[in-house]
Amino acid sequence: MYNADRRSKEFIDGLHYFLSVAEANKQNGFMCCPCVHCNNNKDYSSSRILHSHIFANGFMKKYVCWTKHGEQGVTMEDNEEEDFDDHFPGNAGIGAFDDDIPMEEPEVDVAENDPSDDLGQALHNVQADCESETERLKFQKLLEDHHKLLYPDCQNGFKKLGTTLELLQWKATNGVSDKGFGELLKLVKKMLPKDNELPATTYEAKQLVCPLGLEVQKIHACPNDCILYRGEYENLDACPVCSALRYKIRKDDPGDVEGEPPRKRVPAKVMWYSPIIPRLKRLFRNKDNAKLMRWHKEERKKDSMLRHPADGSQWRKIDRTYPKFDLDARNIRFGLSTDGMNPFGEMSSGHSTWPVTLCLYNLPPWLCMKRKFIMMPVLIPGPKQPGNDIDVYLRPLVEELLLLWGDEGVRMWDEYKQENFNLRALLFVTINDWPALSNLSGHSNKGYKACTHCLDDTDNIWLTHCKKVVYMGHRRFLPIRHAVRKKGKHFKGQADHRTKPMHRSGKDVFNMVKDLEVIFGKGSGSQPVPNENGMAPMWKKKSIFWELPYWEVLDVRHAIDVMHLTKNFCVNLIAFLGVYGKTKDTVEARQELQLMEERMPYIHNSEIMDDNT
């Protein structure tokens, strides 16, 4: 605090630590400033002011014990010497006991009790929480590698596990391929002394730190997306819905040969699932991350501005409906997104792999979409998109969400508060593009009733020449006294005094879909059946999310992502003028306008049938 140069890294790191302590011990939202000029006599609400004051002026004299910022104790003066009472065993120094009494010092592993050894302490804590003996043995091996020197007589103190972790972190940060990283390991291993413990290949390095990773389940799936081979279907070899085989058929497979081990069977389709509960446990094991998960309630600026989902009406409605859920700031609101992608980079290929991601809305808005805090619990492989059958693959995730919503939640350790607590979580909203929204919600995204707001009241028109359905009647969403409602100049000379369609509550929508039964799968699965008017039904299925008890309460269950909304909306408006070289003002469109007796100010009617216009 006093001897280091204020421009040095040592002082800056110490200053940041002091500011974190001051933030954690605010009094009524204010902190005393301990700089030379303020002398703890002035209070400020922002730690930035303290940072600038202390960095420019330095700390006030003799402020070693931060009594104004949460610490308790008495500061020892410079000329005060330690006074040990030799007659008190707790303060006994050398010679305090009789020489005849043998003094046996317990054997203590200094490395294991080193307070600066965060990795060793973390391994001890995780080993203590292991439920099975197999997991304990794995972490025992990790502890041995953690205390093992990289090579005999290593003077720098490099350890086998720590060095391997740093190298793997460097590989991930710089995007080095497995092949390149393996060649680097071989080169470094040759440079080190003989009998060194550095892994020789990338595979060995990953196997060394494998117990530190989180579980990833590979679940076999029907190639037609009918079922997952888990639960009651775990031991089946064929799909009970479409009779598709679970495993691929080898062309040169002679079958089981007596005296030889059976060949490994390759599943026809595999879904990857990463459980979210172990990841949440690891998240709260980190002190900084555990503190960030409380930001939405303890540090968010609360005014009339909309800066975070917590400022919205849906967040407040959940708090009113479930007050117990709102009591603990650590309870999580998830946002779910999914879309198709081609992982092979062949844009002309029809391959479509679907990742499902979860973001945490407890975090500040500048961290919600950071890769560090986004989880990908489900990866649905291609080559075909799951489409309406995506609910089959969401089943494990929904089961975990139901477990997290239970009254008891899931027991976890909060490193920031240093306490155990029961974590609960809910799915706040799904955000996707228009086709993915249809797959998740079960609502048709095309046809006569495609509007997710209007539902049965959707105003639709079939265009004979363009061969598609368009949705008109937008004037009814304007205010009642809006001037455009009365003007019929561009609307066949008619005014529109209709009110906008009433918003349907979650309970109303649930009553529409509760009796729907759909057999999933692209084989013999059921398809939507047209109604008596020849129109396709509005709902394709009852979404799996209706199994969540709180899904009816949400006003907005499925939302459109901002990127597609702004891009598609603006491009369709601006492209009408041909700005992007692709106009909506086509011959077919003008033929439809003539058919609808709309006003066409830019072109004469006789020119409509000219293909060169």
Contact present, 270 and 218 (Cβ < 8 Å)? yes
Q: Which domain holds residue 574?
A: 561-613
- Beta-bridged to residue 461, according to DSSP, are 470
- Say if residue 176 is in the same domain as residue 319: no
Count of C-beta atoms within a 10 Å radius of residue 67: 14
Domain boundary among 374, 403, 438: 438
Contact present, 35 and 53 (Cβ < 8 Å)? yes
Who contacts 329 (Cβ-Cβ below 8 Å, separation ≥6)? 293, 294, 296, 297, 298, 362
Q: What is residue 468's three-state secondary structure?
A: strand
- Say if residue 285 is in the same domain as residue 415: yes
C-alpha 549: how far from chain center:
22
- Say if residue 289 is in the same domain as residue 428: yes
- Say if residue 199 is in the same domain as residue 281: no
- Say if residue 190 is in the same domain as residue 313: no
Count of C-beta atoms within a 10 Å radius of residue 69: 21
Cα(613)–Cα(609) distance, integer angstroms: 8
Contact present, 602 and 577 (Cβ < 8 Å)? no
How far is CA 399 from each of CA 277, 348, 447, 507, rounded to the nearest angstrom? 11, 37, 33, 22
Residue 317's pLDDT is 92
Residue 106's pLDDT is 34
283 occurs within a structural domain: yes
Residue 427's pLDDT is 95
Residue 579's pLDDT is 59
For 317, what's the count of Cα atoms within 13 Å in the CB-facing half-sphere? 13
406 occurs within a structural domain: yes
169 occurs within a structural domain: yes
Pair of tokens at residue 513: 């879909």
- Beta-bridged to residue 280, according to DSSP, are none
16 occurs within a structural domain: yes
- Say if residue 281 is in the same domain as residue 430: yes
Residue 258's pLDDT is 62
Contact present, 444 and 540 (Cβ < 8 Å)? yes
455 occurs within a structural domain: no
- Say if residue 290 is in the same domain as residue 360: yes
- Say if residue 373 is in the same domain as residue 307: yes
Residue type, 324: K
- Is beta strand 31-32 parallel, antiparallel or unpaired with respect to 43-44? antiparallel
Core vs surface per residue 540-577: b (16+ CB within 10 A) or e: bbbbbbbebebbebbeebbebbeebeeeeeeeeeeeee
Residue 321's pLDDT is 93
Pair of tokens at residue 60: 């006030």
Q: Which helix (DSSP H) or strand (DSSP E) does residue 510 occupy?
A: helix 506-513
Model pTM? Answer: 0.69
Residue 375's pLDDT is 93
- Say if residue 31 is in the same domain as residue 155: no
Domain boundary among 384, 418, 438: 438
- Say if residue 434 is in the same domain as residue 292: yes
445 occurs within a structural domain: no
Residue 132's pLDDT is 67
Residue type, 78: D
Pair of tokens at residue 76: 């020892």
Who contacts 366 (Cβ-Cβ below 8 Å, separation ≥6)? none
DSSP-H helix ranges across 102-238: 118-129, 133-147, 160-174, 178-191, 202-208
- Say if residue 38 is in the same domain as residue 168: no
Domain boundary among 212, 236, 255: 212
Residue 577's pLDDT is 55
Cα(202)–Cα(183) distance, integer angstroms: 9
- Say if residue 128 is in the same domain as residue 46: no
Who contacts 359 (Cβ-Cβ below 8 Å, separation ≥6)? 334, 335, 337, 368, 369, 373, 374, 375
Q: What is residue 95's three-state secondary structure?
A: coil
How far is CA 283 from each of CA 277, 286, 512, rounded to the nearest angstrom? 10, 6, 39
243 occurs within a structural domain: no
540 occurs within a structural domain: no
Cα(341)–Cα(320) distance, integer angstroms: 39
Q: Which helix (DSSP H) or strand (DSSP E) does residue 560 occupy?
A: strand 558-560
Averaged over successive runs of 10 residues, the pLDDT of the chain (613 residues) comes to 78 87 80 84 81 84 77 47 36 34 36 53 67 72 82 81 88 87 90 86 85 82 91 90 86 61 82 93 89 91 88 92 92 94 74 93 91 92 89 94 91 90 94 90 85 82 85 85 79 80 84 83 58 62 92 91 79 62 77 68 40 40
Pair of tokens at residue 514: 């509760």
Domain count, the chain: 4
